Amino acid sequence: MTTHYFKNTLSIASTQLAKLPLATNSILLFNAKTLELSHFNLPDCLSPFELTIINRRKRVQAKQEYLATRLLLKHLIKVTQPQHAHVALNKMSTQFNEASSKLQIHVSGDVINTCISHSHGLVGVALNLDKSEFGFDIEKVSLKRPFEKLAKHFYHKDEITLITEPTNTQAQADTFFRIWTLKESVAKATSRPIAKLLSPNVFDELHSAKLSACSNRVTVVDSNVCFDVSVVYKKAPTGDAFY
């Protein structure tokens, strides 16, 4: 049965970043649109490699999302890894590993797997210290997307049925984007291209890979924009997700 995949089971707590009781498997969610880029001296925050990447970004929102994800990852390192607490931000560097399809952060000789996601300004980051099968995804829920047409073109027939059964447009959109974030999360957890997970039934994929999943909705209050967030993991996480 797929019913439980559509129940809001992901725990999300709203609190101030400085007061977070972070665990090593916490996910941080943050509205990057609130960042004022001019308030940051980028060479102090980013490694030389990261500076080259952010300088290639043309759109302000893309720069905000990039800076936010790197600052949050480095904050997680400092809070959860005492041996790295005094490492300067610009001495930590993130880089995508093509071989493992993982974004990794390099700090004082250690290489730590991470996971990030972003959609329309909302960003999320997490560390994956034990290199377990883990991935999460964020996607803005939009009624303007031709989600029924997209589903019929890309999704499995059983997923299409789930989406088209409700007569309410909002319910159809909610189901479409929940399936999408689950597919993206599975792709990240298993290091598989998302293109290879579009047509298979995502619920069958979760079952065959023995992966657990939980999801929820997050609403950015100042804009009243709703996002779907899904997490896929091999073992049940002990920490909460924070916003």
Confidence of residue 55 (pLDDT cuts 50, 70, 90): very high
Helices and strands: H and E segment counts in the chain: 7, 10
Reference 123, options 60, 209, 61, 214; nearest CA is: 61
Top-confidence residue, 14 or 56: 56
Cα first-last separation, the chain:
30
Domain boundary among 58, 86, 118: 118
- Residue 25 scores a pLDDT above 80: no
Confidence of residue 242 (pLDDT cuts 50, 70, 90): very low
Q: Is residue 8 in some structural domain?
A: no
**Cα–Cα distance, 160 to 170 (Å, whole number):** 15
Positive or negative: CA dihedral 204, 206, 209, 212: negative
| CA angle 50–37–34, rounded 5-degree value | 115
Q: Which CATH number does the domain housing residue 140 bear?
A: 3.90.470.20
The whole-number pLDDT of residue 238 equals: 47
For residue 102, the cross-strand partners are 97
Confidence of residue 241 (pLDDT cuts 50, 70, 90): very low
Q: Is residue 5 in some structural domain?
A: no
Tell if the pTM clears 0.75, that is, is over it: yes
Relative orientation angle of helices 157-164 and 147-154, to the nearest 10 degrees: 160
- Residue 240 scores a pLDDT above 70: no
Question: Are 112 and 168 in a shared domain?
Answer: no
**Cα–Cα distance, 58 to 62 (Å, whole number):** 7
Question: Are 138 and 79 in a shared domain?
Answer: no
Question: Are 197 and 100 in a shared domain?
Answer: no
pLDDT tens per residue across span 87-142:
999 999 999 999 999 999 999 999 999 999 999 999 999 999 888 899 999 999 99
Q: Is residue 14 in some structural domain?
A: no
- Residue 153 scores a pLDDT above 70: yes
Collapsing DSSP states into helix, strand and coil, what is residue 220?
strand
Q: What is the mean pLDDT of the chain?
A: 90
Confidence of residue 239 (pLDDT cuts 50, 70, 90): very low
Question: Are 137 and 233 in a shared domain?
Answer: yes
- Residue 216 scores a pLDDT above 60: yes
pLDDT tens per residue across span 32-42:
999 999 999 99
Question: Are 114 and 139 in a shared domain?
Answer: no
The whole-number pLDDT of residue 22 equals: 55
Q: Is residue 126 in some structural domain?
A: no
Domain containing residue 222: 132-237
Q: Is residue 18 in some structural domain?
A: no
Domain total in the chain: 2
Q: Is residue 193 in some structural domain?
A: yes
pLDDT tens per residue across span 155-180:
999 999 999 999 899 999 999 999 99
Question: Are 36 and 103 in a shared domain?
Answer: yes
**Cα–Cα distance, 63 to 101 (Å, whole number):** 22
